[in-house]
Amino acid sequence: MSKPAYFLSDLHLGCTHPRAIVDRETRAVELLRSWQGQASHVFLVGDLFEFWMEYGHYINRHHFPFLRALAELVESGVEVHYLSGNHDFQLDSFFPGLGIHTHETLQIDLQGHRIWLQHGDGMSRTDWGYRVARHIIHNRFNLFLFRLLHPDWGMALARLVGSTSRKAMEDCDPHLAEYEKGARAIMGREHCNVMIHGHTHHPAITQCPEGLHIDTGQWLFALNYIELRDGNFRCVSCS
């Protein structure tokens, strides 16, 4: 019997939304520690933080217990992968220094499945505004200019932008069919039988002709994650 694997996304640690679960970071730390030595893999499917930008000499001190729990997870023998999201897209050398593998997309064979993972931003073809903004944000020159800001100023600006993005996502139900369509296209193109993403904050496991389309949900207004045990996926709620 193989050890289980876990998929978790959209914690948005640092978000001060009035409806956010107040102690979710403490509970996330407890969850990670419960997986130490017990899981084969943990996949962090993007947007762990409300904002993540790596500087040469600065790391956000408010999330040290969470970062330490990630390091301890690796030290316990768990293979940890971190998929970049639209709030934490600038992953550089810090997490690899902890032994965590970072990716924009990932294909992996696990427990009899060929799985494709990505955060999910940009999957909806109808969201033209975001798709254009994504290219602007990821521009290398713009990232260089952003790093010239004091980190506290950068955090304030990122929270403002993030709150605008979240307001749009809170009413994304009409676009969910676009994510399923995108997942089916990816499974067909990449010859995978499982496609896993986050971003929409709507946990779901859907059987499609091409395979399983899985949305990891969120850890902001609800506490959801996905477990893969003995070849079977299930959505777990800690709320």
3-state secondary structure of 188: helix
User: Domain limits at 170?
Assistant: 5-237
Q: Are 21 and 220 in contact (CB under 8 A)?
A: yes
Three-state secondary structure call for residue 124: coil
CATH assignment at residue 96:
3.60.21.10
How high is the mean pLDDT of the chain?
86
Number of domains, the chain: 1
Q: Can you tell me the mean pLDDT for 199-226? A: 96
Tokens describing residue 19:
């409806």
* pLDDT score at 90: 75
Alpha carbons 239 and 231: distance in angstroms, whole number: 25
- Choose the weakest-confidence range: 22-31, 55-64, 111-120: 55-64
pTM for this structure?
Answer: 0.88
% of residues, the chain, pLDDT over 70:
79
